Amino acid sequence: MNPDLRKLIALQDIEKNIAVLHKKVSEIPAKTGELQAAAERVKAAYEEKVALTKELANRRRTLEGEVDLARTKLSRLKDQLMTVKTNKEYTAMLNEIRTAETHIRNEEDKILDVMEEMESGEKAINLAETEIRRECTAIDDEIRRMNESAPALEGELEKLRGEKAAVEAGVDPEFIAQYRRIADARKGIALAEAKEELCSACHVRIRPQMYADLLLTETILFCDSCSRILFVREES
């Protein structure tokens, strides 16, 4: 294999690794923000359950107050029943008493419904407390892991940048310039590995004679379709 081509293969491999690591480092703030937002959503869902339980408790107290007032009214009506003097007044008073009793029963039914909702809500809160601790702990651990990984990733990037500079220094500048022109035109990929007589970048079949030349000579050859520099990777 052409010595300069061998160095360019190493250069492209290094640059791919740099791109991967740079992407990981640059994504840390955004991913951290996403995780923090997820934690806030978990907490908000829990607070919503707590707020609903408080609302139900307030509603229960309101209904119980209304029932107490209704019972006081009913007691007063029963006392007044003993003082009426005509059948008409007596019948009217009985109707009013029955209406008050019906109202009390309806309100007590509402209280029972609210109590059932409160019981269900309290169970949901107890489960949510366990779940929110588990989820928030997992989120905090992931945020810490990502933040702790940043220095190591930055160190690896610096190491790869040094390797890249060393490889570039050993390649003919004209050859490097050609490599850069092709990379700029082909989304950063100037070299394409030839596999099973196909260009791995554009997947177009390589002419048999060209493929044979790739295997047997040190000549720099280009893909007829995408114009990238072709190479056959040597076994380690």
pLDDT digit string, tens, across residues 92-108: 989 999 999 999 999 99
* Helix orientation angle between 87-169 and 3-81, rounded to the nearest 10 degrees: 170
Confidence of residue 236 (pLDDT cuts 50, 70, 90): low
Asked whether residue 90 carries a pLDDT value surpassing 90, the answer given is: no
pLDDT digit string, tens, across residues 55-75: 999 999 999 999 999 999 999
pLDDT for res 181: 93
* Helix orientation angle between 3-81 and 173-185, rounded to the nearest 10 degrees: 40
Give the separation between CA 18 and CA 164, rounded to whole angstroms: 9
pLDDT for res 46: 85
* pTM of the full structure: 0.63
pLDDT for res 126: 82
Question: Which of 1, 3, 4, 13 minimizes the C-alpha distance to 172?
Answer: 4
Which residue shows structure tokens 């107490």?
A: 68
Confidence of residue 49 (pLDDT cuts 50, 70, 90): confident
**Domains, in order of start, for the chain:** 15-169 (1.10.287.1490), 176-231 (no CATH)
Give whole-number Cα distances, 123 to 29, 30, 49, 139, 180, in Å: 37, 35, 10, 24, 64
Asked whether residue 134 carries a pLDDT value surpassing 80, the answer given is: yes
